[in-house]
Amino acid sequence: MNSLAPESIIRAPAEVRCQNELQRLREWDRWPKPSGWQLSPRAVEVFILGDPGLQIRPKYIGEREQVQIAIATLASDRALLLIGEPGTAKSWLSEHLSAAICGTSQLTVQGTAGTTEDQIKYSWNYALLISEGPSERALVPSPVLLAMRQGQIARLEEITRCASEVQDALISILSEKAIAIPELERIEYARRGFNIIATANTRDRGVNEMSSALKRRFNFVELPVLANLQQEIQIVRQRTQEMLEEQGLSLSLPDEFLETLVTVFQELRRGQTLDGEQKVKTPSTVMSTAEAISVLFGGCLLAHYFGDGKLHGNHLVRLLMGAVTKEDRSDLEVLGEYLETVARNRRGWVWKEITEARRLLRAL
């Protein structure tokens, strides 16, 4: 971390935001730890899934078995690949697993079409390289190489966004747990505790398909889209409250508003009402839990800065319009049809306000 106070940082990493919880777990932890780990696998599980008795908030709400498989994988010699639809908390889980296991989540490579092999292995400070030739001083280690040297977790986001040759650079690292630096006539070997967590969106399949050789070096854990209404409400409420606290704001999140918001997202995502009795059109964009959190938080900001401090249906509709049209503006018709055929037949003050706010769609 730099010298900035944590409270002045827009988004502090997990190991900073959760430092008190991690300290409590270190004091409580009595189980054996894999070499290089700061917490035992059991304590990592508690950190991820939460424990009210220890005052540990859940970081991920989902299947315990999936979390256990992910943690056990990182204690083995195989890397972990978290896959799923956009917005299923892959990066969020990756960050918190890394923070709990090795104390840092910042050894990260963001996969893009422009990611190079240098960003996976190492590069050079060219001014030093020209003046004194290949040397340790001129070497610029990648986050992966730093993780190998320090026995920590490296994170590779959106692995299928990387070109095939960049992906293939990982094969020898995952197989041999080493990186050759021929310019220095040296091989860097990974310390115990080193591993890699990669993430991939299922919607990116076919962009840069992983080779069979690379797939064999990962254990795959798929994070599903939440189907349980109450679980998704819990996640949306908890994360929005955390974001409001970070902003120094205090707004009420009414149960009925939250239930309505998540119901809208689940029904547009599924293509049918929750009771299964009515089909609805689905928009092109992903109606993810992360998007629901963004809509609710945005509504809170509108209510605080431009309203009466209370959430209203027009806040929800105004932000839904932006969320739904991210891929295709014509999806406004999908939202309009949903409000006309589903929302207006529902009872409750939020549904009534949403129905009244349909005029915002007609004005476009």
Among 222, 253, 280, give the residue marking a domain's end: 222
Among 174, 203, 222, give the residue marking a domain's end: 222
Instruction: State the average pLDDT over residues 153-182.
Output: 94
pLDDT at 103 (0 to 100): 96
Question: Does 11 share its domain with 138?
Answer: yes
Q: Are 168 and 211 in contact (CB under 8 A)?
A: yes
Taking the C-alpha atoms of residue 266 and residue 169, their distance in angstroms, rounded to an integer, is 39
Q: Is residue 49 predicted with pLDDT exceeding 60?
A: yes
Work out the pLDDT band at 2, boundaries 50, 70, 90. low
Work out the pLDDT band at 54, boundaries 50, 70, 90. very high
Q: How far is CA 121 from CA 78, 81, 238, in A?
A: 19, 19, 38
Question: Does 211 share its domain with 315?
Answer: no
pLDDT at 11 (0 to 100): 84
CATH code, domain with 201: 3.40.50.300
Instruction: State the average pLDDT over residues 258-264.
Output: 96
Question: Does 203 share its domain with 174?
Answer: yes
Question: Does 33 share its domain with 151?
Answer: yes
Q: Is residue 50 predicted with pLDDT exceeding 90?
A: yes
Residue 89 lies in a domain: yes
Strand partners, 256: none
pLDDT at 7 (0 to 100): 65
Question: Does 233 share its domain with 215?
Answer: no
Residue 295 lies in a domain: yes
219-252 pLDDT tens trace = 999 999 888 999 999 999 999 999 998 888 989 9
More confident residue, 224 or 9: 224
pLDDT at 4 (0 to 100): 60
Residue 1 lies in a domain: no
pLDDT at 234 (0 to 100): 94
Mean pLDDT computed over every residue of the chain:
92
Task: List CB contacts of 187: < 8 A, sequence separation 6 or more.
Answer: 178, 179, 180, 181
271-292 pLDDT tens trace = 999 999 999 999 988 899 999 9
pLDDT at 246 (0 to 100): 86
pLDDT at 3 (0 to 100): 58
Q: Are 105 and 99 in contact (CB under 8 A)?
A: yes
Q: Are 234 and 241 in contact (CB under 8 A)?
A: no
Question: Does 212 share its domain with 318?
Answer: no
List the structure tokens of 351.
């549904």
User: Is beta strand 153-157 parallel, antiparallel or unpaired with respect to 195-201?
Assistant: parallel
Question: Does 179 share its domain with 66?
Answer: yes
Domains in the chain, number: 2
Residue 344 lies in a domain: yes
Q: Are 168 and 210 in contact (CB under 8 A)?
A: no
pLDDT at 227 (0 to 100): 86
Q: How many CB atoms lie within 10 A of CB 75?
A: 18
Taking the C-alpha atoms of residue 144 and residue 188, their distance in angstroms, rounded to an integer, is 11
Work out the pLDDT band at 359, boundaries 50, 70, 90. confident
Q: Is residue 205 predicted with pLDDT exceeding 80?
A: no
Work out the pLDDT band at 328, boundaries 50, 70, 90. confident
Taking the C-alpha atoms of residue 210 and residue 310, their distance in angstroms, rounded to an integer, is 48
Q: Is residue 264 predicted with pLDDT exceeding 80?
A: yes
Coil, strand or helix: which one is 352?
helix
Work out the pLDDT band at 55, boundaries 50, 70, 90. very high
Q: Is residue 87 predicted with pLDDT exceeding 90?
A: no
Question: Does 218 share its domain with 245?
Answer: no
What is the phi/psi pair of residue 308, to 5°?
-100, 15
Residue 238 lies in a domain: yes
pTM score of the predicted model: 0.90
Among 178, 193, 222, give the residue marking a domain's end: 222
Work out the pLDDT band at 26, boundaries 50, 70, 90. very high
Strand partners, 154: 196
**Residue-range definition of the domain harbouring residue 35:** 6-222
List the structure tokens of 48.
């991820």
pLDDT at 84 (0 to 100): 92
Question: Does 160 share its domain with 128?
Answer: yes
User: Is beta strand 122-124 parallel, antiparallel or unpaired with respect to 139-141?
Assistant: antiparallel
Closest to 217 in 3D by CA, of 178, 149, 157, 170: 170
Question: Does 68 share its domain with 196?
Answer: yes
Instruction: Give the whole-number percent of the chain exceeding pLDDT 70.
Output: 96
